[in-house]
């Protein structure tokens, strides 16, 4: 599914095209894709809210498949081994951020499905050092949303710093939030969900949310941490007011509408606002280990790869709860 230029998803900007198979370079592997999760970041790329970094482009950065070719020097994975490809595709390893365990902030980083072709395709290439072994606990479709929705939620949860027995508020309840809720509940955290979609509220209740309400509805208690997944800056003041003194609000999206002016009283008493930028490979490995140990049960709606425009349109409209995943013909047995 190829993007030649950004446009509203309603206009079908992704086109089905046959392209030459990618060739893995030095230290790279090629993956025969079976499943690729859809993400709001994909929608931001396709509709141009994130500026185009290359064209044409194959989007998609929650990729699960099996290694079908090895580039020169690649030896970490065997042919046929199941692996995942995530958002962060490469970092320089030499800058101050990379050398201090903060490769998520590398200014030379490359990103799957934005600066390099991604997984809305039958094959994709990635440096082997940035691929992930997929735990046997998950099928291909269930594993796909872990590779961004899961990882970003995992990092946001760590930055929100909620102790066991504490309270966490989630604003927006899509793919990432429904995974984050399960991790938080397994850690003994009480979760309060604010979301506008009735089907999302129902899923939150089914997954063990302590309380579920409307998008900016006041919480019944003050919480130690909050995460905003919705790309809506207007939620920031309400989320701040939900925090206990010393609490942290994590902003988990790569794109967000403008944040309105804040009353200092809502921030006072050492409340903290911090953004969440990308992820490190340690985040990815940590999430996959914890997800398998719990184990998580991602709620997945699947679509054929050729229906990527429709799938992203459903994501935009809140047409399904949990995660959306594209399946290639091979995965669907076609």
What pLDDT score was predicted for residue 329? 81
What pLDDT score was predicted for residue 333? 64
Q: Is the pLDDT of residue 301 over 90?
A: yes
Share of the chain above pLDDT 70, in %: 99
Question: What are the pLDDT digits (tens) for 32-72?
Answer: 999 999 999 999 999 999 999 999 999 999 999 999 999 99
Question: What are the pLDDT digits (tens) for 185-236?
Answer: 999 999 999 999 999 999 999 999 999 999 888 999 999 999 999 999 999 9
pTM of the predicted model, to two decimals? 0.95
User: What is the rounded distance in angstroms from the CA atom of residue 32 to the CA atom of residue 85?
Assistant: 11
User: What is the rounded distance in angstroms from the CA atom of residue 30 to the CA atom of residue 123?
Assistant: 7
What pLDDT score was predicted for residue 334? 61
What pLDDT score was predicted for residue 330? 73
Question: What are the pLDDT digits (tens) for 283-294?
Answer: 999 999 999 999
- Return mean pLDDT, the chain: 96
What pLDDT score was predicted for residue 124? 98
Q: How buried is residue 155: exposed, middle or buried, by Cβ count under 10 Å (0-12/13-18/19+)?
A: buried
Domains annotated for the chain, with CATH where assigned, are 2-147+279-332 (3.90.180.10), 150-275 (3.40.50.720)
């Amino acid at each position: 599914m190829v993007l030649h230029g950004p446009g509203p998803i309603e206009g079908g900007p992704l086109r089905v095209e046959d392209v030459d198979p990618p060739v893995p370079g030095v230290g790279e592997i090629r993956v025969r894709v079976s499943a690729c999760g859809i993400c709001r970041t994909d929608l931001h790329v396709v509709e141009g809210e994130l500026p185009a970094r290359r064209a044409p482009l194959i989007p998609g950065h929650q990729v699960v498949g099996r290694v079908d070719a090895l580039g020169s020097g690649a030896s970490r994975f065997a042919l046929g081994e199941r692996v995942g490809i995530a958002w962060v595709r490469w970092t320089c390893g030499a800058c101050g951020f990379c050398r201090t365990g903060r490769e998520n902030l590398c200014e030379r980083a490359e990103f799957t499905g934005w600066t390099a072709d991604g997984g809305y395709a039958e094959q994709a290439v990635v440096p082997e050092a940035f691929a992930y072994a997929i735990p046997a606990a998950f099928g291909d479709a269930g594993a796909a949303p872990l590779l961004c929705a899961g990882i970003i939620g995992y990092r946001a949860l760590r930055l929100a710093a909620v102790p066991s027995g504490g309270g966490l508020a989630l604003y927006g309840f899509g793919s990432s939030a429904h995974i984050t809720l399960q991790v938080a509940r397994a850690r003994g955290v009480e979760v309060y969900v604010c979301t506008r979609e009735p089907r999302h509220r129902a899923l939150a209740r089914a997954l063990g949310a302590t309380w579920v309400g409307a998008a900016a509805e006041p919480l019944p208690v003050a919480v130690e941490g909050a995460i905003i997944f919705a790309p809506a800056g207007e939620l920031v003041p309400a989320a701040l007011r939900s925090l206990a003194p010393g609490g942290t609000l994590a902003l988990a999206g790569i794109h967000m509408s403008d944040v309105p002016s804040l009353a200092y009283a809502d921030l006072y008493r050492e409340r903290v606002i911090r953004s969440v930028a990308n992820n490190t490979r340690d985040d990815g490995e940590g999430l996959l280990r914890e997800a398998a140990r719990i184990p998580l049960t991602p709620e997945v709606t699947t679509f054929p790869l050729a229906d990527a425009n429709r799938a992203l349109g459903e994501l935009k409209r809140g047409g399904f709860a949990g995660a959306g995943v594209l399946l290639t013909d091979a995965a669907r047995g076609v």
